[in-house]
Structure 1
């Protein structure tokens, strides 16, 4: 039975290598400067800021910071507000990151917090590829509902929306 373990290990290594390659491509395309975890300078999030946390060091989960909570699209389709501690529960990371500009100021559009808050307790048919947390997050930021599947697409859309590279900074612990 060691052969299945070898294949599993090879698959994990390929996934990790693919993640590293995707990061380098995003940096070379100018969308992002710091990925989550690449910079230690902590920032205080503000209402309407885009936040994320890691999931098994391969995926990211995103939401909107509002009143010291995070509004997210959960995997069951419920849009809910949760504490930062709950946002990290059942995920591999122990840090929340906020999208900032080069001056480490959180990137915020004026109506983002209001749009996110207005969607609380709604259900949205969750689908990992066509209707996930990244799509919900960018809809709150831009007011436009368009398909965003991957964290890379979220970064590219945020870069275009805010006309700046994205610097993912850890948040100051409350």
Structure 2
């Protein structure tokens, strides 16, 4: 009976250690300035900003900020607009972070607004590796349907798209 719990615990420890290694590799790559949670300076997102929240300190979930809502690809394949509070619900993270440049200005692609809003209430066959929230976000900012499996890949693609190191800054908490 205790053996499955030991295996589960070992798996969680391995996943956490792997995420910490991935964080360090992203920093060393030069694509990332601040990982979510590294810096306390709050920045208000602008329409078309990329935002994220944490999931069990191992994964990140991403979306596009539009009119104080976040457009996301949900795990069931539905593209929807949700409030920041709903974006955090059922996830372990309690903060939302916005992708910024080195001067802490949100990284915005104006086309991301049109592309993301145009997909609200559409359905896309969700797959954790080949069609996830990171791929959805990158397709909104770039207009390209490219594979994006991990948060680190999204950071690298945003670095190339925007031509600047990505700094993840906390969004002010709204009451």
TM tier, smaller? over 0.9
Match of 1:2 in 2: 2
Q: How big is the shift at 1:13?
A: 1.4
Partner of 2:164: 164
Q: What's the CA shift for 1:87?
A: 0.3
SS at match of 2:98: strand
- Map Cα deviations across residues 27-65 of structure 1 (whole Å, 9 max, x no partner): 101110111111111000000000000111111100000
- Distance in 2, matches of 1:82 and 1:3, equals 40
Match runs of 1:1-174 below 5 Å: 1-174=1-174
User: What are the Cα deviations for residues 47-103 of structure 1, in whole angstroms up to 9, with x where unaligned?
Assistant: 000000011111110000000000000111111100000000000011000000010
Query: What is the RMSD computed on CA atoms of the aligned residues?
Result: 0.9
Q: For residues 98 and 7 of structure 1, what CA distance do their matches in structure 2 show? A: 35
The alignment of Structure 1 onto Structure 2 pairs a total of residues equal to 174
Q: 1: CA distance between counterparts of 2:28 and 2:127?
A: 30
State how far apart, in whole Å, the 1-side matches of 2:158 and 2:126 are.
22
Q: Secondary structure at the match of 1:167?
A: strand
TM-score by length of structure 1 reads: 0.97
List 4+ stretches of structure 1 deviating above 4 A.
none
Structure 2 residue matching 1:61: 3-state secondary structure? strand
Q: Flag structure 1 segments of 5+ consecutive residues without an equivalent.
A: none
CA distance in 2, matches of 1:68, 1:18: 33
TM-score of the aligned structures, taking structure 2 as reference length = 0.96
User: Where in structure 2 are there 5+ consecutive unaligned residues?
Assistant: none
Q: Distance in 1 between matches of 2:10 and 2:71?
A: 36
